[in-house]
Structure 1
Amino acid sequence: MEKPYSPACERNRDPILAQLRDHFRDSRRVLEIGSGTGQHAVHFAQALPYLTWQTSDRPAHLAGIHAWLDEAALPNTPAPLAFDVDEAWPSGTFDAIFSANTLHIMSWAQVERLFAGLPGLLADNARVVIYGPFNYQGQFTSLSNAAFDASLKAQDPQKGIRDFEAIFELAQQAGLDMLEDHAMPANNRCLAWRTRRG
C-alpha cells in the first residue's frame, strides 16, 4: 500500500526528538499512543536505537503504520498494537509513553479515560511526554490555535484544544509529577511527567 504521509510530522519531528533525547535518555521501552501515520515512530526509533518503540493506534490506522515500519525494517520497532481507549488496552508495562496531537481529537471523556488508565501501563519511575497545542487559563495562545480549535469543533463538537490546567489535574490524579512544560514551534507545547516516587 502507499504509505500515509503527514507534512506536520515532518515539520515537528526534530524539535520533538530533541525533547525525547532528554526525557527518554534512561528509558528502554516506549509506548506511542496514537501513532497516526507511523512517521514519528520510524524517525524516533532510528535516532534512539536503545529504545524499543512500540506503536499503537485504532485498528483503521494500523495498515499505514505497518507500511512505514516494514519499509524502514528497524530492529527496535515491533508490530503496532491496536489501542482504542474505549476498547481493550494493551498488556504489559512501559517505562515511557509518548503521544503527539491526540488529546484534541479525542472527546474529553476519552482524555479522562486515557489518563485514568495510564497507571496500569507505567513502570516505576516512568516518563510520559505529550506534544500538542494547549490553552492556558481558558485562553488560546495564538490566533492560529483559535482557528484550529474552531475547525476541530466543526468536525465534531467533542473535539478541541484542551486546557493545560485540566490536563495537569488529570496527570496529578494518575500519580504523575510534572517535569517540564516546554514551548515548541507553531504554538505547540511538550509536556513531560514522571511517575510519582513512593
Structure 2
Amino acid sequence: MLHAVHNKAAIEQREQISILENTIKSQGETLISQRNQLEDIQNKCRQFKRANGDTSTSSNSSDPAFYAYLEAPETNPKSNMVVKFDTPITNIGGAYNIEKGLFTVPRKGVYVFSWTIVSSDRGVIFTQIVVNSEPIGSMITHAEQSYDFHTTTTVAVKELNQGDVVFIRTNPHSRALGYINSGVHFRSSFSGWSLK
C-alpha cells in the first residue's frame, strides 16, 4: 500500500513537472515571438523616422549635426528663395527640416555651417546663409563665361540661441542665371554642427 501511494505521488510529480516544462516552453516561445514583434516595431519606427527626415543614429551624442543635399537640380531658382536641401544623410537631433529647408537651433552654442552650390553651365548663383532674417554670409558660384559646371563652398561660424532658424537662400534682389545643379556625381548641399 505504501508502495502504491509512493508510486501515485511520483506519477503526480512527473505530471506536474511535465506541466511546468510545457508552461516554460510555451512562455519561451511567447517571449521569442514578442522579441521578434518588438524588433519589427523598432525597424518600422526607424523606417518612419528616416522617411520623415530623421536619420539620427543611436549615438549617445547630444550634439546636433546635419548634412543634406539636393536630390535633383533646382531648375527655377527664384529670388529670395529658401533652398530646400531635401535628402538628409545625417540629422542628429532632428533639427533640420527637409520640407522647409530650415535648421532650428536646439540649444545655445557655437555652430559651424557649410554649404556647397553647383551652378549650371553659364550660370551665376548668388546664395546667402541667413539666421532668422539676417544674412551672416554669402557666396557666388559663377560659370557665366564657361560651358561647364562650377562649384563653390563656404563656411560660417556663429554663436546662436535656442530657437534661431538658419537657412540658405538665393539672392533677395535678383533672379539667378541658370540653375542650381545637383546629381549623382556632384551635390549641392548644406551641413551644420555644434562645436563643443
Q: Above 0.5 in TM-score?
A: no
Give the structure-1-normalised TM-score: 0.23
Structure showing the higher strand proportion among its residues: 2
Structure showing the higher helix proportion among its residues: 1
Q: Which has the larger radius of gyration?
A: 2
Q: Which has the higher contact order (CA 8 A, sep 6+)?
A: 2
